[in-house]
Amino acid sequence: MPFHNLSGARIAFDLDGTLVDTAPDLVRALNAAITPAGLDPVPLAAVRAMVGRGARALILRAYERAGRAEPSADETATRLERFLDVYADGVADLSRPFDGVEAVLDALGEAGAELSICTNKPGWLARPLMDALNMSDRFVRIVGADDAPEKKPAAIHLETALGGPADGRAMLIGDSEPDVGAARAARAHSLIFTDGYSEKPADALGADRLFKHWREAPGLIAELIPNAEIC
């Protein structure tokens, strides 16, 4: 899938549910955090629809799912600390890139596109995850929720990942509503992976394009970025 004429294109990627299937490690950490509080373990399938707004939101969603009142700030902090400790201790134990991701990243990079990560995961977790999966070298920036003044869907998070304001050759590839919101706010193109972790149906998010498998992504990228072509 070789591209050409991608010099000057800037493409940012969401991480969880877009580049990497992290749900198995996230559910491992979530259940370690919430079961001491008397909640039943959350199944893997449920976690896939709960990811996208950060670890704190994931914990609150678990309480909501169990029919429990929202925990106090102190209780939330305790659960969050446990979640982060467990998750960081095995950040890539079960997580793997989605099928076809690495081939697309390599093709984009070889064609001159500048690649970055724009994730609501904390940067201090995102970077070790990418290192453990031997993927970090493909990106000029890995920008987590703590690396920008605001996280997605704020435009500034995407602009920080892109290295500046978006133009017609800037794009965010993600899987959920915060991704589409950030792209829209920054006036960048949006491309959504439909097999990710969205709370809402992908076709209800208002993205510019949707794709189900990464082999479909190159053609859609070429449609959205002016003058980009697939050889």
Which phi and psi (to 5°) does residue 216 adopt?
A: -85, -20
Would you call 21 a catalytic residue per the annotation? no
Q: Quote the tokens at residue 47.
A: 């976690």
Which phi and psi (to 5°) does residue 124 adopt?
A: -70, -10
Q: Cα(153)–Cα(213) distance, rounded to whole angstroms?
A: 24
Q: Is the bond preceding 149 in cis, omega lying within 30 degrees of 0?
A: no
116 close to 162: Cβ distance less than 8 angstroms? yes
Q: Cα(143)–Cα(145) distance, rounded to whole angstroms?
A: 7
The one catalytic residue among 14, 16, 21, 179: 14
Q: Quote the tokens at residue 194.
A: 């439909």
Q: Which residues are catalytic?
A: 14
